[in-house]
Every structure is written in C-alpha cells, then in structure tokens.
Amino acid sequence: MNGPSSKSFPVTWDQFHRDSRALAWRLMDKGPYSAVVCITRGGLVPAAIVARELGIRVIESVSVASYDHKDQGNIRVLKPIADSVLAANGGAEGSVLIIDDLVDTGATARVVRDMLPGAHFATVYAKPKGREMVDTFITEVSQDTWIYFPWDLDVSYVPPISGQAD
C-alpha cells in the first residue's frame, strides 16, 4: 500500500495488548519454541508480550527496513539474525517463532522467512496480499486499510465526520 488511505484502523495500546495476548493463545499448542525473533521495529511489542505469555526467554531481533511513515520501498536488512538462533531453528528444543505486528504485501515477511525457512511466522494483523506468508494471525484487514499503531499516535481532537464542528 502506498500511503494512508481513506480507510484507517487506529489501534490503542489496550487493543494491541489484547490482540497480542490472543496471538499467544493461538500459538500455545503450536510449539514448542526455542526462541522468538521479532521483526523490528513493529514486532518488538507483540514479541515481548508473546514471549512472556509462552515463557520463551530467548528473544532475538532482525532489523528490516521497508517503510517510511507512509510508503513501502526497497527492503534492506539492517541487522541479521544471530547465528545461534539460526542454528537452533528446528532443533530438539523446538522451532523459532517469528513475530511481527503486521504482514502487508508479504515482501518483508518473505525476506525473513527465507532466513528461517522452518520457523513459525505469526503476526497480529494481516492483509490479503501478505497473508499466505504467515502461519498464524489474529485480525485481517483490507489491503487498502492503513493501520495506525499506538506508538505512532498522539491524542488529539478529531472533527466530526459531518465536518460541522459545534
């Protein structure tokens, strides 16, 4: 998606916490997991919540840049996954769990999935173009919906839909 559309989906901290815990519930019987790899930055918060709920102590990050605040561009791996986590994937202690906030077109997910082909990939939200890249998600939104995450928002006045202010 290129930039915010007329469809917006603002997510509060409370809602995001509930949705991340719901993701943990869905993942509970799909493990065991030896580690969580979060895709930064959006995957940091849900990964912390899921790791806590599932009792996973090894948390790794992979830094992949593809967005600015409104557009998706070229994908760059800024920080790769640690070799110890790559080696642990599919071992005796279980597979690695990849967590992100959202799968949009699937381009970022594809890059990370290629790094950990046997991992279980989970996101809180999914859009149709990227949905096939993830194994588990909580909420699907339309491709033309822009999700406003709580870390991107500030509380401010919103005019009435009619445009007529009191």
23 and 44 in contact (C-beta within 8 Å)?
A: no
Q: Which candidate in 19, 29, 83, 104 is catalytic?
A: 104
Return the SS3 of 126: strand
β strands within 12-53, DSSP E: 33-40
Active site annotation includes 100: yes
- 44-54 helix and 13-27 helix, angle to the nearest 10 degrees: 50
Q: Which candidate in 83, 100, 152, 166 is catalytic?
A: 100
E strand or H helix at 46:
helix 44-54
| 55 φ/ψ sector (left φ>0, alpha ψ -120 to 50, else beta) | left
Active site annotation includes 144: no
Q: Which candidate in 19, 101, 114, 135 is catalytic?
A: 101
Active site annotation includes 104: yes
- Helices H / strands E in the chain, number of each: 4, 8
Q: Which residues are catalytic?
A: 100-101, 104
